[in-house]
Amino acid sequence: MKYAALVVKNLARSKRRTIFTLISIAVSLFIFSALVSMPAVVNRFLADPAASNRVACHNKAGVTYGIPEAYKQAIAATPHVEAVVAQSWFGGIYHEVADQFPNMSVDPEQVGAMWPDWEIAPDALERFQHLRTAALVGPETMRRFGFHLGQRIMLRGTIYPFNVTLDIVGTLNGKAPPSFLVFRRDYLEEVRGRPGFVDVIWVRVDRAANVPQVITALDENFANSSAETLTEPEAAFYGNFIAGYRVFFRMAELMGILVVFAIGLVAANTAAMSIRERRTEIAVLRSIGFPTRTILAMLLAESLLIALAGWLLGCCGAFLLLRSITVQGVVGAIQMPTSVLFIAFAVAVLIGLVSAIVPASAAARRNIVEALRAVA
Amino acid sequence: MQRAAHSEGAALRLDTPTPPAVELDQVRRIYRRDEFAVHALDNVSLTIPPARFVAIMGPSGSGKTTLLNLIAGIDHPSSGRVAVGGEEISSKKDRELAAWRARHIGLVFQFYNLIPVLTARENVDLPLLLTTLNKRDRRAHVETALRAVGLGDRMDHYPRQLSGGQEQRVAIARAIVTDPTIVVADEPTGDLDATSAEEILNLLGELNRRFGKTIVMVTHDSRAEHHVDEIYRLDKGILTGVEPGRRRLA
């Protein structure tokens, strides 16, 4: 600790350089944290363990082709099936085009049985089953648009040439995607003119071990029909659904890593300059008797302090920013998982150490006589 | 001045016959510059008794600084033996030498070499960071050293706020604060005007007289001859003679 004052004084030697280095590391870690958080949100969504008992049955050719509503009865009669809920995507917007969020219609009867992990309040579930225009809304969307229970809202159709007027009767909680809005499919069907097709039929299986058996049974049952099905576990379904974004996520991760790498090089150059300017002082410290490892530790501590201050500013800034504002992602608002804080911390430590290790090591081990002669 | 709390006490040395402050026995130092071998010191042998103020003089390139570096333990001889305070240092490894320098050597440079972001007090405190002294004791040692060099009223000044002579005084305070066995000074007046140079020479002389410090100084400054006990003359890496300084003659 007695060397701490020396480390701090050296950091304050060139305040402008220290501040700019700190800011550049902070900005890079801000970008890194924000970009890495995007796939992390999806991964967290797909890793939801409660999803393991649910399977999605949809047209083999793709979700947008639809399957007959009549499949519901056949599916419900399949062994090990506990609940069946048909779903049709609505994809409406609230006011502006930018007001997009996931909204869809579902059969109301077995919503509670299908998604117990959504923790819908019993009275809300009851109202949902009795009011034709009822809607259940995730907390993120409630907060985003300032909705409140009992409010009547109108969603403008983007796929369909009509709007729907909905009454908010409850909220989706627990592990429900926080940006989802669900309303009753019978209402949508009525407005659509009852075409008899749905996008997906959700199936809840009694036990996770029976999921493969049910999947096989369903797909075999509808084989060689006009609408062959592809049934898959919930995680796989969402995984395929957002597969198109995976390239974007990979690119985001790559961009984050590249930004950090670039700033790492800048930090290395700055550390090298800073240490090169102090070669004589380092030689003087060694001539006084400072051990090489103590000098090395002090130089690394300087670099580490800047990097950690950059982490505090950049990563924690991103964490707080993403908490305070809503950035809508594919499967909900993007928020930084706590794990990203730790990853970014490790990255900051790496930047701090790696950027300074070579010049610091060279300066701390340089021949004292040569270093002193270089000045004189 | 009180000796700073290093692991070795001063009492042991009082009970044993006092060894020479510096002893060089047939010391050679050869530098390799590409394919050339530069004989900086050639077969130099000398003995400096304790509590002496000596100057090493000679033309540029005569090996003065090389000799000083060997005595200070920041360079190794190519052959021969170097002992300081009775302790042979020529065979020590770098890590051992660093610890040894912290205990036994006070260094003064031509260009002061103070850390510009530290105050006079903090600069003088640097060697004490390597000791086991607590903060309060370190502070007391630092203030004693700075008062001894006449800078009791400049303790919290930064080097840029001091004159060249004052900076060199801070450097001398830094060199003596641990009460080292020997103070080595490389051209301590080389960057100073005549008045400041005289003040520094007087100060070194006084430190030698009052505290019995052994001071080995490399210098071109002919005024130094008036202040030292002996002058060792070097030329082309060879010790050409030892003559008494005028202080001794007086």
Predicted model pTM = 0.71
The residues near B201 (Cβ < 8 Å, ≥ 6 apart) are B189, B221, B223, B224, B226, B227
Are B84 and B28 in contact by the 8 Å Cβ rule? The answer is: no
To the nearest whole Å, the CA of A343 is away from the closest chain B CA by 35
Per the rule left: phi > 0, alpha: psi between -120 and 50, beta: everything else, B13 is: alpha
Question: Three-state DSSP class for B248?
Answer: helix
Residue B40 lies in a domain: no
Torsion of the alpha carbons at B37, B43, B49 and B53, rounded to the nearest 10: -40
Q: What is the pLDDT of residues A235-263, one digit of tens each?
A: 888 777 777 677 777 888 888 889 888 98
A2 and B174 in contact by Cβ < 8 A? no
Average pLDDT, chain A: 87
Mutate to test the interface with A, among B65, B67, B78, B129 (most CBs of A within 10 A): B129
To the nearest whole Å, the CA of A98 is away from the closest chain B CA by 54
Are A330 and A42 in contact by the 8 Å Cβ rule? The answer is: yes
**For range A77-87, the mean pLDDT:** 95
Residue B204 lies in a domain: yes
Are A89 and A199 in contact by the 8 Å Cβ rule? The answer is: yes
Burial group, residue A341, by CB count within 10 angstroms (0-12, 13-18, 19+):
middle
pLDDT for the residue numbered B248: 63
| Cα R_g (chain A), whole angstroms | 29
ipTM above 0.95, yes or no: no
Question: Three-state DSSP class for A100?
Answer: strand
pLDDT for the residue numbered B249: 61
Average pLDDT, chain B: 88
B95 and A281 in contact by Cβ < 8 A? no
Residue B24 lies in a domain: no
Residue B107 lies in a domain: yes
Query: What is the residue range of B114's domain?
Result: 50-76+93-249
Residue B39 lies in a domain: no
B117 and A13 in contact by Cβ < 8 A? yes
Work out the pLDDT band at A266, boundaries 50, 70, 90: confident
Q: Which two tokens stand for residue A15?
A: 């305040």
Rounded CA-CA distance A229/A195 in Å is 18
The residues near B170 (Cβ < 8 Å, ≥ 6 apart) are B112, B114, B120, B123, B124, B146, B149, B151, B154, B159, B162
Q: Is the pLDDT of residue B215 over 70?
A: yes
pLDDT for the residue numbered B16: 55
Residue B229 lies in a domain: yes
| Nearest one of B127, B125, B105, B130 to B181, comparing CA atoms | B105
Chain A residues with beta carbon closer than 8 angstroms to that of B74: 286-287, 368-369, 372
Q: Is the pLDDT of residue B100 over 70?
A: yes
Q: Is the pLDDT of residue A327 over 70?
A: no
Q: Is the pLDDT of residue A35 over 90?
A: no
Least-confidence region, from A168-182, A229-243, B143-157: A229-243
Helix A292-324 × helix B94-104 angle, to 10°: 100
Residue B38 lies in a domain: no
CATH classification of the domain holding B149: 3.40.50.300
Rounded CA-CA distance A254/A360 in Å is 29
Taking the Cβ of residue B116 and every Cβ of chain A, the question of whether any pair is shorter than 8 Å is answered with yes
Work out the pLDDT band at A52, boundaries 50, 70, 90: low
Residue B27 lies in a domain: no
Q: Which two tokens stand for residue A113?
A: 């049985």
Count of domains observed in chain B: 1
Q: What is the pLDDT of residues B226-239, one digit of tens each?
A: 889 999 999 999 99
- Using CA coordinates, name the residue in chain B closest to A294: B130
Burial group, residue B78, by CB count within 10 angstroms (0-12, 13-18, 19+):
middle
Q: CB count, 10 Å around CB of A117?
A: 16
Nearest to A287 among B101, B111, B122 (CB): B101
